[in-house]
Structure 1
Amino acid sequence: MNRLISIGELAELKAVSVDTIRRWEKEGKLESVRTDGGHRRYRLSDFVEQKIGKTIAYARVSSHDQKADLDRQDAVLSGYCQSFNWEYEVIRDLGSGMNYRKKGLTKLISTILDGEVARLVITHKDRLLRFGSELIFSLCEYHEVEVVILNKKEDATFEEDLASDVLEIITVFSARLYGSRSSKNKKLIQKLAESVQSG
């Protein structure tokens, strides 16, 4: 826990830019130590101290056939939280990244609003929502909930998830337009599914 981390690692941990870390240090909000070569290093323990409240680790996949990925996210998040001896709970969610009414997401928001959360840990930004995750981050900032994003890069399955989300939107609207059981609706959905798979 006393290990030193680079400015880039700290920026990733705090989900800000390297320039922001430099500005915070200039403003006296944090301190660094210098290596023999003159590089900035930061004590990890200064930034992962125990806070009042629990850590929520949030994992999500879009469909039932992605259960293996959900289990993988759970394992990664659990391992990360355990490495810091945090009291944590993993919320597992199933549903589109464009669905704001998922059971797990609703529970997460309620728990944050109740003031019970000290920290939110996710593997990727878009695990919360495909569009609008900034709203959750703003909510976390207001309630002084630390957000830890383990991987800043896009998911390898981004295109697949996005295609699935688009298909879901079209399915809902075509069902409203033609009726969910109409043959016209079923043919349209089938053609769209084939296009997504071939694309």
Structure 2
Amino acid sequence: MDIPTIKEFNKGVEEFRKYEKRDAMYKVATFMVSHFWNKPADIADGLGVLLLTWNQAFYRYGVFDFNKLERCIKNNYSEIKEYRNRHILTLSTSDEKNIKKMFNEFLEALQIDTGKMKGRKSPVSVAKTIHLLAPKFFPIWDDKIARAYGCYYNKNSAEQYIRFCKIMKDFSEKLKDKILYKNWSILKIIDEYNYSKYTKHWI
């Protein structure tokens, strides 16, 4: 993996904040998850605010079932609480089994539940969801970002996500003391760079 120079990295973050207007929804969803912590139904609503905006290209074909998402949060709540208090730098091989299980359960819960595309699944939605639940531990990806890091998820998406987590751990380790922007988790800042460079090609 090629780690960018700090100048290139900060340029990517600057371009993201200049052009990406939808990031207001990230702030709203983050607030809602935090404010309604311990209330899975309300957390599901907060996640929906982000997913239906951030991943609109996917959910324009139909919406997920909020009740299934709520149940998934409840079923994984003890693990979610643990990961919410951890940093990506603490990721170890002992986490892989739980991450794979959680990822696959959210993949089922967040599938399109109505219309012609019913049953279609989105590894992108899963990553965004678990990131909001544990923003210091779980990184965000999309199609182009996953491809750029050699983690494309057309098959074995949970395993590919674990691989992506390991790469983002290494990325975080190498840049953690150099990043200028401190208002979000390091994984959110890295995603802003990745989005600028690989998704939008702003840099």
Pair in the same fold by TM > 0.5: no
Bigger helix share: 2
Relative contact order (C-alpha < 8 Å, sep 6+): which is higher? Answer: 2
Whose Rg is larger?
Answer: 1
Bigger strand share: 1
Category of TM-score, reference length = shorter chain: under 0.3
